[in-house]
Amino acid sequence: MGELERVGFAGLGAMGAGIARRLHDAGYDVVVWNRTKAKADPLVEAGMGWAETPRELAASVDVLFTMLTNSVAIEAAADGPDGVLAGLRADAVWADMSTIAPDASVALAERVRAAGAYFLDCPVSGSPATLAAGQMSVMVGGDRYAFERVEELLHAIGPKVTYIGANGQAILTKVAINLALVVSVTAFAEGVALVEKAGVDREAVVDAVLKSVIASPVIGYRAPLLVDDTDVFADVELQQKDLVLAQELARRLGMAVPTCAATSEMLNAARSSERSDRDFVVSVHDAYRRMGGMD
Identify the helix (H) or strand (E) that includes residue 63.
Answer: strand 63-66
Model-level pTM? 0.90
Identify the helix (H) or strand (E) that includes residue 162.
Answer: strand 160-165
- Whether residue 5 has pLDDT greater than 80: no
- Whether residue 3 has pLDDT greater than 70: no
Q: Which amino acid is located at 190 in the chain?
A: E
pLDDT of the residue at 83: 95
pLDDT of the residue at 104: 92
pLDDT of the residue at 130: 84
The C-alpha R_g of the chain, in whole angstroms, comes to: 20
3-state secondary structure of 77: helix
Packed helices 280-291 and 258-270: angle between N→C axes, nearest 10 degrees: 80
Percent of the chain with pLDDT over 90: 86
Chain centroid to Cα 68, Å, comes to 9
Q: Is the CB of residue 66 less than 8 Å from the CB of residue 96? A: yes
Chain centroid to Cα 205, Å, comes to 29
Percent of the chain with pLDDT over 70: 98
- Whether residue 108 has pLDDT greater than 80: yes
Enumerate domains of the chain plus CATH numbers: 6-167 (3.40.50.720), 172-291 (1.10.1040.10)
- Summarised one tens digit per residue, pLDDT across range 43-83 is 999 999 999 999 999 999 999 999 998 889 999 999 999 99
Identify the helix (H) or strand (E) that includes residue 10.
Answer: strand 6-10
